[in-house]
Chains A and B, each alone.
Chain A
Amino acid sequence: MVMRGWRRRWLGTAGFYALAVLFMLPTVFVFYWMVTLSIKPQVEATAYPPSFVRFSVTTAGYREVFTKYPFLLYTWNSLVVAVGCTGLGLAVGLPAAYSIARWRQRRLALAILVARIIPGISYLIPWYIFFRNLRMVDTYGALILTHLIVGLPIIIWVMIGFFEDVPADLEDAALIDGCSYFGTFWRVALPLVKPGVMATAILSFVFSWNNFLFSVILAGRQTRTLPIAVFNMISYEEINWGTLAAAATLITLPVLVLALLVQRHIVSGLTFGAGSGGSTVGAAPVSGRVSGGRRGRAGSSATCSTRSTSPWCSTRTRSGP
Chain B
Amino acid sequence: MTPRQDVAATVTSAHHVERNGRLGGWAHRHARWLFPAPAIFLVVAIIAYPIAYTVWMSLQEWYASSLTAPKFIGLANYEKIAVGDPRFREAVVRTVYFTVLVLIGETVLGVAMALLFNREFWGRGLLRTLAILPMVATPTAIGLVFVMMYHPTLGVANYLLTVIGLSPFKWTYSSQTALYALALVDVWQWTPLIMLIALAGLASLPREPYEAAHIDGASTLRAFWHITLPLLRPAIVVAILFRAIDALKTFDIIYIITQGGPANATETINILLFNQAFSYFNMGYASSMAVALFTVVMGVSLILIKVRRTTAW
A contact residues vs B (CB 8 Å cutoff) = 16-17, 19-20, 23-24, 26-28, 30-31, 33-34, 37, 46, 48-50, 91-93, 95-96, 98-100, 102-103, 105, 108, 110-112, 114-115, 117-129, 132, 145-146, 148-149, 152, 156, 176-183, 185, 206, 209-210, 212-213, 216-217, 226-228, 230-231, 234, 239, 241, 244-245, 247-249, 251-252, 255-256, 259-260, 263, 266-267, 270-271, 274-282, 299-302, 311-316, 318
Contacts and interface: CB of A to CB of B under 8 A. Distances in A.
Given A96-B38, A125-B54, A152-B43, A244 B140 contact: no
Contacts of A112: 39, 43
A275 B256 contact: no
Nearest to A124: B277
B212 interface: no
Contacts, number: 328
Given A115-B47, A176-B11, A251 B141 contact: yes
Contacts of A28: 130
A128 B127 contact: no
Looking at chain B, what size class is its interface with the partner chain? 35 or more
What's the dominant secondary structure at chain B's contact region? helix
A105 B143 CA distance: 40
Contacts of A312: 238, 308-309
A180 B252 contact: no
B313 A300 contact: yes
B138 A252 contact: yes
A20 B195 CA distance: 13
**Which residue of A98, A259, A270 has the most chain B CB atoms within 10 A of its CB atom?**
A270
6 nearest A-B residue pairs (beta carbon): A178-B14, A96-B39, A99-B35, A181-B31, A178-B17, A252-B141
B313 to A, nearest CB: 6
A266 B204 CA distance: 19
Interface stretch (B83-91, B172-180, B216-224, B283-291): B283-291
**Which residue of A16, A91, A118, A125 has the most chain B CB atoms within 10 A of its CB atom?**
A125
A121 B159 CA distance: 37
Contacts of A125: 50, 54, 57, 277, 283, 286-287, 290
B78 interface: no
A176 B204 contact: no
A27 B57 contact: no
Nearest to B134: A27
Nearest to B163: A49
Nearest to A46: B154
A118 B36 contact: no
**Which residue of A37, A152, A182 has the most chain B CB atoms within 10 A of its CB atom?**
A182
A210 B138 CA distance: 5
Contacts of A318: 313
B67 interface: no
Interface in B229-256: 234-235, 238-239, 242, 245, 248-249, 251-252, 255-256
B278 A23 contact: no
Given A119-B270, A209-B138, A278 B251 contact: no
A279 B203 contact: yes
A124 to B, nearest CB: 7
27 contacts: A23-B113, A27-B133, A95-B38, A99-B36, A105-B36, A120-B251, A121-B270, A122-B50, A122-B291, A125-B50, A176-B14, A181-B35, A182-B31, A210-B140, A213-B252, A239-B154, A245-B144, A248-B140, A256-B133, A259-B132, A271-B242, A274-B308, A275-B238, A277-B201, A280-B196, A281-B199, A314-B311
A89 to B, nearest CB: 9
B227 interface: no
B149 A33 contact: yes
B203 A311 contact: no
A230 to B, nearest CB: 5
A274 B135 contact: no
A95 B39 contact: yes
B273 A121 contact: yes
Given A112-B39, A119-B270, A256-B137, A49 B131 contact: no
A123 B269 CA distance: 15
A301 B206 CA distance: 12
Given A118-B51, A299-B204, A95 B36 contact: yes
A130 B207 CA distance: 57
Nearest to A283: B200
Interface string B1-39: 000000100110111111100001001100110011011
